[in-house]
A and B are shown apart, each in its own frame.
Chain A
Amino acid sequence: MVHKGSDNEQSKQIREELEELAPTLSRLPKKERHQVPGMYFTTLSNKVLNRIEQENKPKPGPLQILENLVGQWISARTAVAALSVLFVSIIGAHLYQAGQQVETTHYSLATLEYDELAYMLTSVDGDDLSLMLTDNDISDLDGEISYFSEDAELYDLYMNEIDEDLIMEEWL
């Protein structure tokens, strides 16, 4: 398509200017060399208005994104509730595990090797060790498999509140 100018006067002025500058060119018919697919211009306004509508749609928030991800079979609220339950369960399990580990540490002393126990007694302060084990613990250990019950000397050593110098002399 060649635009014929907003008014004839303008068109005439441009033609005269061109005749003066380039006579051969001014005699050529003005033709657009490009082809346009049929119906392109009749469908263009709808295409553009649809695009504008799409661009103006509000962008989904995090809850909507979650809802889209989870799908139609489960609502966002249910998904949030399920995640909360899962979270509480994980925290509960973690805390339970931590409690179990305290118990494990407590009894693991009874499984120490002789050399390991001697090392502990030399490296741990007597006050600290007495905080770690109570009299009841010692009694319990006494009834179970314990180096204390097997070796009266070691038991006495502990009961006399650990003398590091003595341990050094006796065991190392």
Chain B
Amino acid sequence: MSSIDKEILQRFAIPAEREAAFRMLVDTYSERLYYQIRRLVDTHEDTDDVLQNVLVKAWRYLGKFNGEAALYTWLYRIAYNESMTYLKQRNKRTTGSIEDVQEASTTEAYMPAEDIEERLQQAIDALPDKQKLVFQMRYYDELPYEEMSQVLGTSVGALKASYHHAAKKIEAHLTGH
């Protein structure tokens, strides 16, 4: 556990310093959490809702956090669960099926793109949901497989395979092979 995590936890245990410790947590991790959520839920408004839910849960349960994993891994797991809950609710609200949405985005994803960054985003968007999540956790958040395993509840071996597949698909899309 990092020294900042230790400080947050120690101060959070003292009622008078609880709020200051929480502010420290928000300042340290909210930006990374924001982008993690945003990659899953798309709009800023929805990301804001989900992130606030994550932080409210962190406030409620931080006192019970046992410190076995890194604090960010714990927060990341809450964010992942909250995002999935949000996506399930959103899919229920939409009239079309999930398959329709996936098909539409896949079709769009393979349209020709001039810009290499745009092509990268299209390739990421075209990945199956779980593979996309694994790729983003590794590529953008640079999480070790062990932490990813704690967040997603998947074995390290399966995560490695998933990441390798994703990276190769994206590479193929970028190079046109």
Residues of chain A touching chain B, judged by Cβ–Cβ distance below 8 Å, are 1-6, 10-11, 14, 18, 21-25, 28, 30-37, 40-41, 44-45, 47-49, 51-52, 55
Contacts and interface: CB of A to CB of B under 8 A. Distances in A.
Interface of B: 2, 19, 22-23, 26-27, 30-32, 34-35, 38-39, 44, 48, 51-52, 55-56, 59, 70, 72, 116-117, 120-121, 138-142, 144, 164, 167-168, 170-171, 174-175
Contacts of B168: 21-22
Contacts of A25: 120, 167, 170-171, 174
A6 to B, nearest CB: 7
A44 to B, nearest CB: 6
22 contacts: A1-B31, A1-B35, A14-B138, A18-B139, A18-B167, A21-B167, A21-B171, A22-B168, A24-B171, A24-B175, A25-B170, A30-B139, A33-B117, A33-B121, A34-B35, A40-B34, A44-B30, A45-B22, A45-B27, A47-B52, A48-B59, A49-B23
A6 B70 contact: yes
A85 to B, nearest CB: 46
A44 B117 CA distance: 30
A4 B72 CA distance: 14
B26 A45 contact: yes
A23 B117 CA distance: 15
A98 B105 CA distance: 76
A52 B138 contact: no
Contact of B167 (A1, A5, A6, A22): A22
Contacts of B174: 22, 24-25, 28
B34 A41 contact: yes
Contact of A23 (B55, B164, B171): B171
Contacts of A18: 139, 167
Contact of B142 (A14, A28, A37): A14
B87 to A, nearest CB: 17
